[in-house]
Amino acid sequence: MQSVGPYRFTHMLGTCPVGKAWAAIDEQGRFATVAVLNAVAANTPGWREAFAGTANAMSQRPDGQAFTYADFYADEPWAAYPAEAGPGAEKLFRALGQEYHPVPTEQAGSPKQGDSPEPVSGVPRQPSGPPQSVSGPPHPVSAPPQPVSGAPQPVSGAPQPTSGAPIAPWALHSGALPTVPPAPMPPPADDAPQSPAPVSAAPADPPPYDPFRAPVRRIKPSEPPPRRTGLWVGLAAVVLVVAVASGVGIWAIAGNEQPDPYVPPTGASTTGSSTVAPIEPALKPWAQASLYSPEEKALAVAAPSLVFVEAVFTGYVRDARTNALVHPQPVSFIRRCSGFLLTPDGHAVTNGSCVKPAEGHARWLAVDALARMLVQGKQLPAAQISSYIAANLPKVRFTGVEPGTEPTSAVYGQLNRAKGNAVEEPAIKAEVVRSLPEDSGNTALIKLARGNLPAVELNPSASLAEGSPVRILAYATSDVVFRNAAYRPQSTMVTITGTSQRGPVSIYLVNEDLGPASHGGVALDSAGRVAGLIYQDQAAPDRANRAILPASTISALLGEAGVANTLGDADKVYRSGLDAYFRGDSSSAITQLQKAAAATPDNLLAQAYRQNATERQRLEDASRQQSSTLVLVLVGCAGVLLVALVILAVLLIRRRDR
């Protein structure tokens, strides 16, 4: 079955001359409708831009339809709409002025082989077929004959002239040009009705002679002046052309008063006018949420503070009674999770069991790692890992080099893109400041050994309720090899499905997660503040990260550690720049975001949004210049119209004087 991006088509919903509407399903099983512009129309100048501009304009209207994902640079551009919001794909094609034809239920499905795209409606096609020869004298035609292929076929009647507009470029490739029905033909010359012949009659008697009647008229009236039909037709044509041009100018200016919003690039390419390489942040909020929406802004505010956390534990497995080594070599295991910075000097919060697991959990992880070492050394069959853990877990301890000492641990943090098993730059060494046990919140405060970092605000009073949607943000990977897997921030909307209890702490259960490394990530409120921490649902068999710990527990952890959640000056400037960007003030946004990017180099989103604001300002300037040009054209048309009206008035006055 055909697919685009994360969507797999299930059946066709409808067609129009420039594309098709499909029913589709995404990777999470959510239904959508997808509008696909066919390749021939996309390669025709103006259509790709019209498709993208209309989709964006619909997203910006208060009562419009916002797409969830789109790719306007594909060979066949497409835009996807959530199925629960209605027929978004159909609305997009109708907004483009296309005649949309729904596919009957029994005909829905994938397109047949050999189907060709329909021509754009509203553009006439050239009639096909050979010219018709005639009997009798030819009739004049209003336009030169159209070139045709094939031999002429003799028929009776006069040839019919053809007229019309040029054919749309993609219609020439469709191979399905309709024939034009012949116009009614005049009857042949031989069958035309003839006037009756004049009948001669006897001459009448001459009238009597009148001596006062002159044989000719004495005063002969002068002939009326010839009518200047051509002049009036020409003047009327001039007035009509000027009026049409003025209307087009007014329409163009009105259409450019509010230019379409700038669409930031979603790939690695940049616009042709850019002179510097585009910044590629690990997370692009404009690709994760609706463009210029509050959700995009919330992601832009919080994403720079997200941290990838990796903890490495090393120790020895010993017999619990004798302290003898069960295996002579040290055993290591790795824990990976997400976190977020709460102060510019490097204080971050993450999941407690990630950086400081409880003794029982650490012992289980160590025995599991030992069993896999034995499998790798061919000392244990792979099928016996579970039984080996069950048999030895109650009999061993996980210690440091000496009995009674703690295993060693090393914690590292990475911002933006992250790589597993990294201990050098861009990895940042970290240490655990304080950790709460599993029955009291299971959170940990760590300190990265670097300052001048982007931070996020807590919202301890954030409202979390069953059935409400929440946006989560955390690190995830699609790599199957664990050791050196690449991680990057990901975001999605989840729904709170219920509540659970972990000791005295209440947690909220959600319906989706972002993967094994997402615990310790952020649940955001509408302003981009922390409403909660992503947590493991330990009651579930797979212990998936489908729970949220309220932000109030994080505030308690900071209070115990004596650390205050604060934003730096660069964070405040960055938020001011985002405010200007999302209200359309490109000039202020460029200034503020430039300052934030210079003050905090790790905040790649400050640099990316500065580039977006610069490009949007360039487009706005170009739009204003185009409007000025159209004003000049309109003034010129108005001048021509005025001259034409003066000439017409003079001619009318001269005609009246005569």
pLDDT along the chain (658 residues), means of 10: 86 94 89 94 92 92 87 93 90 92 66 41 37 36 36 36 36 35 38 40 46 48 57 61 61 53 54 62 92 94 97 95 93 96 96 92 94 92 93 94 93 95 93 89 94 95 92 94 92 94 87 93 95 88 89 91 94 96 94 94 94 90 63 65 74 68
Cβ proximity of 251 and 244 under 8 Å? no
Cβ proximity of 65 and 58 under 8 Å? yes
- At which residue do the structure tokens 């006439």 appear? 124
Residue type, 291: L
Cβ proximity of 42 and 79 under 8 Å? no
Calpha distance 510→524 (Å, rounded): 14
DSSP state of 261: P
Residues 6+ apart with CB under 8 A from 19: 35, 36, 37, 38, 41, 76, 93, 98
First to last CA, the chain: 81
- Domains along the sequence of the chain with CATH: 3-107 (3.30.200.20), 294-561 (2.40.10.120)
Residue type, 219: I
Helix (DSSP H) and strand (DSSP E) numbers for the chain: 13, 23
Calpha distance 32→80 (Å, rounded): 6
Would you tell me how many other CB atoms lie within 10 Å of the CB of residue 54? 20
Calpha distance 576→358 (Å, rounded): 42
Would you tell me how many other CB atoms lie within 10 Å of the CB of residue 46? 8
**244, two tokens:** 């049409």
> What's the pLDDT score for residue 647?
78
Residue type, 56: N
Cβ proximity of 271 and 60 under 8 Å? no
Would you tell me how many other CB atoms lie within 10 Å of the CB of residue 364? 16
- At which residue do the structure tokens 């309709």 appear? 178
DSSP 214-251: -SS-SS-PPPPPPP-HHHHHHHHHHHHHHHHHHHHHHH
DSSP state of 492: E
Quote helix, strand, coil % in the chain, to nearest 5.
35, 20, 45
HSE of 430, CA atoms in CB hemisphere, 13 A: 34
Residues 6+ apart with CB under 8 A from 613: 577, 580, 581, 586, 589, 590, 593
Pairing state of beta strands 31-37 and 132-133?
Answer: unpaired
Would you tell me how many other CB atoms lie within 10 Å of the CB of residue 588? 16
3-state class (DSSP) for residue 553: helix
Cβ proximity of 566 and 340 under 8 Å? no
> What's the pLDDT score for residue 211?
47
Helices 229-256 and 604-657, packing angle to 10 deg: 160
> What's the pLDDT score for residue 233?
56
> What's the pLDDT score for residue 3?
86
Cβ proximity of 84 and 469 under 8 Å? no
Q: Which helix (H) or strand (E) holds 22?
A: strand 19-25
**546, two tokens:** 């489908």
Report angle CA 397, 401, 405 to the nearest 5 degrees.
Answer: 60
3-state class (DSSP) for residue 65: coil
